[in-house]
């Protein structure tokens, strides 16, 4: 019973500190929460929580604040993720349905996430390496060039130009296009290369070289890592944290500007959880990046039509970064 009560005390401290941005004392807990025990008992529970490293006293005679360890216990065992209501889902769907292309979808998703959380939102673009092929288009350009248009199942459109000695006629080009799409649509690396090679082997000798060159372009495009990028929105929300977060604002902004850092962190957070279907959280120094040591990073994956997977559609990840309440910085709601 005492263990359950202490967890209730920890929950109350975290919730009050996030809401008020002030250290929490036993008297405040007694007045605001129906814990069913005396202030003296609560003080004993707070002492036990402090001994366990879950809360800390920022200075003498002050109340207590959660530590990184306390936040981790709260996130893992005491907090719950509020499900979206049907009206909320409908409003979000309507907002995103108005997008005209992938860039617009990602930008709208970032703005929406920043607005809903009141934090900095980071949305990672779908990765080409983890995308599948939705459609392949071949378009003759002039007499010696072929435009290869690659449309992925995550909505990206990539265009590559091939210089050729002689373009085949439209009928031959249509057959090549149809055969490539028949075997490649929906496939991802590495099996895609084998399927495309099988198409080349079935064509007349005069068309095999072109088919192989097109196949190489498709595989190389989907294997590219350099174009992975993120969209960052809501940085102005950091100003809401007040003066207590001022000392940490510059390193946080510098960290957010480093897309390599953000991409690496998002990838790690997607891979370090056994259950990748839900929300992941890294608190303070768990980010393993000094510039983000005063923040918490909350991430989840996204996909389309129920096809999310740990490393395919889920490779594109939204996140929000929130100032982590500590003895030096002001708290801000994160979950």
One digit per residue, the tens of pLDDT, for the chain of length 335 reads 578 888 989 999 998 888 887 889 888 888 888 888 888 888 899 999 999 999 998 887 778 999 999 999 998 887 777 788 898 888 888 888 888 877 888 899 899 989 888 889 998 877 656 667 888 899 988 878 899 998 887 777 888 999 988 888 888 889 999 988 888 887 776 678 888 888 888 888 888 888 899 989 888 887 765 456 788 898 888 877 554 556 667 888 888 888 788 888 887 887 765 445 578 889 988 888 888 888 888 888 776 554 443 332 333 456 666 655 443 333 333 33
Distance CA 88, CA 49 (A): 38
Q: 3-state DSSP call for residue 92?
A: helix
State the span(s) of the chain assigned CATH 3.30.390.60.
133-222
Give every strand in the sheet of 157-163, ordered side by side. Answer: 133-141, 145-152, 157-163
CATH number of 88-127+228-323: 3.30.450.40
State the span(s) of the chain assigned CATH 3.30.450.40.
88-127+228-323
Q: How far is CA 66 from the centre of its chain?
A: 25
State the span(s) of the chain assigned CATH 1.10.10.10.
2-78
CATH number of 2-78: 1.10.10.10
User: DSSP alpha helices (H): ranges in 132-286?
Assistant: 170-184, 191-202, 205-222, 246-257, 259-271
> Would you say the pTM of this structure is higher than 0.75?
no
- Name the CATH topology of 133-222: Enolase-like; domain 1 (3.30.390)
Give every strand in the sheet of 295-299, ordered side by side. Answer: 230-233, 120-124, 318-323, 295-299, 280-283
């Amino acid at each position: 019973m005492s263990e359950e009560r202490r967890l209730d005390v920890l929950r109350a401290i975290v919730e009050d500190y996030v809401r008020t941005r002030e250290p929490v004392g036993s008297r405040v807990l007694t007045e605001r929460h129906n814990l069913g025990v005396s202030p003296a008992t609560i003080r004993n529970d707070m002492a036990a929580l402090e001994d366990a490293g879950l809360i800390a006293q920022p200075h003498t005679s002050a109340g207590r604040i959660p530590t990184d360890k306390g936040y981790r216990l709260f996130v893992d065992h005491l907090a719950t993720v509020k499900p979206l209501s049907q009206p909320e889902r409908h409003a979000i769907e309507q907002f995103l349905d108005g997008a005209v292309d992938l860039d617009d979808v990602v930008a709208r998703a970032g703005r929406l996430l920043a607005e809903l959380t009141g934090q900095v939102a980071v949305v990672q673009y779908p990765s080409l390496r983890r995308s599948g092929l939705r459609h392949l288009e071949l378009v003759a350009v002039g007499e010696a060039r072929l435009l290869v248009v690659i449309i992925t199942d995550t909505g990206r459109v990539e265009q590559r130009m091939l210089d050729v000695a002689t373009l085949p006629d439209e009928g031959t080009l249509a057959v090549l296009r149809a055969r490539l799409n028949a075997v490649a649509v929906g496939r991802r690396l590495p099996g895609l290369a084998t399927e495309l090679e099988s198409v080349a082997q079935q064509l007349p000798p005069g068309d095999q070289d072109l088919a192989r060159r097109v196949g190489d372009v498709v595989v190389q495009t989907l294997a590219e890592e350099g174009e992975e990028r993120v969209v960052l929105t809501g940085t102005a929300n950091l100003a809401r944290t007040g003066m207590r977060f001022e000392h940490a604002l510059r390193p946080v902004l510098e960290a957010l500007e480093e897309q390599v850092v953000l991409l690496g962190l998002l990838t790690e957070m997607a891979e370090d959880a056994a259950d990748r279907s839900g929300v992941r959280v890294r608190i303070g120094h768990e980010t393993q990046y000094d510039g983000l040591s005063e923040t918490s990073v909350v991430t989840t994956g996204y996909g389309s039509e129920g096809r999310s997977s740990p490393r395919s559609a889920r490779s594109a990840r939204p996140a929000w970064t929130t100032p982590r309440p500590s003895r030096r910085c002001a708290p801000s709601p994160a979950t």
